[in-house]
Homo-oligomer: A and B are copies of this chain.
Amino acid sequence: MKIYDISMEISEDVQVYKNKEEKKAKLIQQYNFQNSSVYETQLMMNLHTGTHIDAPLHAIENGLTTETYTLDQFFGPCQVLDFMTVEERITAKDLEKYTIEEDTFILLKTKNSLDQEFNYNFIYLDESGAQYLVDKNIKGVGIDGLGIERNQSGHPTHKILLGKRIPILEGLRLEGIQAGYYDIAAFPIKIKNVEASPVRAVLIEK
């Protein structure tokens, strides 16, 4: 069995959405072997930094929080679709080229996976693509950008997906992952009453 890592490595230098200062990760040494018999670090981080899932509350006022997802939404059949040649946005037309089975976690592999720094022109999933995936009854959708849309007015992509309680997995690293079929494991850290959670996302070879 081979397990592929598809997660971003969190550090103080990791790229964050729009390079916003308040989104950067801080790692603070609380204890070390000079002042203690153990070594311990404190993490300070926006929940949308690194690889993470969004829950409805992220984009919908009074929306549902991460604990309302069920664990089986984050484990099982997954299909990686190759959009490396897309230059701007993924549309319903782009998605129609593939056979998409219901109850599958769909990952969108784009040129974003090559970006080591935040790219303001990252590839995104547009409104028509989000609606197409909802109509296919997918289980979840992931992308290798820190957003699944590029701050489109009103956040329609987020609202279409999250309105149907479909988890959005952002900040993936898919370079080196071949398009095709896998099992995914991407269980969110259990945090009470929040709109997002960090995830270690992996693909397991079938």
Chain A interface (Cβ within 8 Å of chain B)? 1, 3, 5, 7-11, 22, 27, 30, 33, 37-48, 50-51, 57-59, 61, 63, 67, 71-72, 75-76, 154-155, 185, 187-196, 198-200, 202, 204
A195-B39, A204-B75 given; A50·B3 CB < 8 A = no
Q: Collect the chain B residues with CB atoms within 8 Å of residue A67's CB.
A: 9
A188 x B200 contact (CB < 8 A): yes
> In the assembled complex, how far is the CB of residue A59 from the closest CB belonging to chain B, in whole angstroms?
6
Q: Collect the chain B residues with CB atoms within 8 Å of residue A33's CB.
A: 61
A3 x B51 contact (CB < 8 A): no
A75-B3, A194-B27 given; A47·B51 CB < 8 A = no
* Nearest-CB residue, chain B, relative to A49: B42
> 30 interchain pairs (CB within 8 A)?
A3-B71, A5-B71, A5-B190, A9-B67, A9-B190, A10-B189, A33-B61, A37-B155, A38-B58, A38-B59, A38-B155, A39-B57, A39-B58, A39-B195, A40-B58, A41-B47, A41-B194, A41-B195, A43-B45, A43-B46, A44-B44, A51-B190, A71-B202, A75-B185, A185-B185, A187-B187, A187-B202, A188-B200, A189-B198, A189-B200
Q: Collect the chain B residues with CB atoms within 8 Å of residue A51's CB.
A: 190
